[in-house]
Structure 1
Amino acid sequence: MKKFILSAVAVFSLTFAQAQETGENPGFDTGDMFISGSVGYSTTKNPDDSKSSNFNIIPRFGYFVNDFFAVGAQLGYSKNTAEDSRGRDTVDNSTFEVGVFGRYYLLPGKRFTPYGELNLGYGHTKDIFDNKVNGLNIGFMPGVSYFLSNNFAIEASVGILGYSSAKPDSDGAEATKRFDFGIDTNDINFGLIYKF
């Protein structure tokens, strides 16, 4: 089903893009600004009546300092909850994040352009027991952007090379450190950009 939905989105996007008749060249130029982001929600109900849900929203803003390079900032909020078969909460985590990023576009004035993104973020998580964790992450991911019209583009990023550190907010706690590297179908992220 996931492959069918992704295929349908790709076919619709390409068809829509080919139908666009404009006098301007799509793509990015110095001084362009854009907004993008992602929203996600999922819920799972198990045979034993336990259930879980996940929600996240991440708005982003970017500015092109020259034709090839954009800098930007993002905010993020996510919430994960779970209940056991008797309806008792077993997980209730809320995370707030703030971050900055830089992107280098290989073909900025073109309808289709690959890019590389370096990002740095800070996050704060609070769980059901009022425990708090502070985290720092840095990552690099490759992606592609395709303009559907002069102002709208779809983008996809694949894989990640990253490092993160999470430390409980308590005396004497030690940080948990993690290194990620991989290209996997679970690491494919899609988004929509509005350029202005």
Structure 2
Amino acid sequence: MKVKITLILLLLVTVASSMKAGRPKRIDREIQNSMFIPKGQWMFGGTVSYSEHDESNLNFLVLKDVEGVGYTFKVSPYVGYFIKDNIAVGARFTYNRTYLNMENFDLNLGEDFNINLSNLYYLQHKYEVSGLVRTYMPVGRSKIFGLFNEARLTYGYSTGKNSTGAGTEYDGTFEKSHHLQLGIAPGLTAFVTDWASVEVSVGVMGFNFKWQDQNTNQVESGSRRVSSGNFKFDLFSINIGMTFYL
């Protein structure tokens, strides 16, 4: 009996030793061992963007006699607190205004297919609030250059108006929408002083959900629901901003 117990124990030790020997060795990458921004600091900053366009008798490919003006303005301040080294939690607020007034627009796809639109008008105000968690990682042992990733949960509300025509042919539509977004925004930061840095980040990649209600001429109503996932890198969504640390 003792011989059987001894053989069983030897077998268990052999199996455990072989499993331990076959397990791959974990590499200590020391990602969090290098402090980039210490615990207890506050950060605040933001991004601002503005673009406008003005077309007068523009002709481009199938677009003819385009007359219009418009602009887009966006401001997005944020604040955060470092609860641990290299890890901050905070909030972000965003306001976006889009305006378009197109007096004339011709789409020429051939002799038998031409579209002419005039007096197109669009105006939208969008408000967003986000909760965020941002993690930093230095580039090597550098105290100047670092990488960061910002995870966001965003709720947004917008109101807008779009219309076509004028006078008796006027058609105006008012809309209200709510949207929810869960996403990430990676980026690069570079300190220019001991307390300020320049940041470059890409647009938010993640999941989006939107609910939209419309009312046309105070008579007809409509609704729309959209859900999407976006994990593509878009060069046109790059943001540049400043962040200050206290």
TM-score of the superposed pair, with normalisation by structure 1: 0.79
Contact 1:134 1:169 in 2 (8 A): no
Equivalence for 1:166: 210
1:84-103 alignment runs, 5 A limit:
84-85=102-103, 88=119, 90-103=121-134
RMSD after superposition: 2.4
Give the share of equivalent positions with the same residue, in percent.
26
Contact 1:159 1:181 in 2 (8 A): no
The correspondence for 2:53, drawn from 44, 51, 55, is: 44
CA 1:53–1:121: 2 relative to 1, 3 Å: same
Contact 1:136 1:166 in 2 (8 A): yes
The correspondence for 2:155, drawn from 97, 117, 122, is: 122
Cα drift, residue 120 of structure 1: 0.9
Cα drift, residue 173 of structure 1: 3.9
The correspondence for 1:181, drawn from 231, 235, 239, is: 231
Deviation per residue, 1:73-104 (Å, 9 max, x gap): 01111111111227956101110111111111
Unaligned stretches of 5+ residues in structure 2: 1-34, 57-65, 105-117, 162-172, 215-220
SS in 2 for 1:28: coil
Partner Cα separation in structure 2 for residue 161 and residue 112 of structure 1: 23
Equivalence for 1:148: 192
Unaligned stretches of 5+ residues in structure 1: 1-25
Greater Cα offset, 181-190 or 64-73:
181-190
Contact 1:81 1:92 in 2 (8 A): yes
Equivalence for 1:104: 135
What amino acid does structure 2 have at the position aligned with 1:99? S
CA 1:174–1:44: 2 relative to 1, 3 Å: closer
Partner Cα separation in structure 2 for residue 163 and residue 83 of structure 1: 31
Partner Cα separation in structure 2 for residue 53 and residue 172 of structure 1: 27
SS in 2 for 1:52: strand
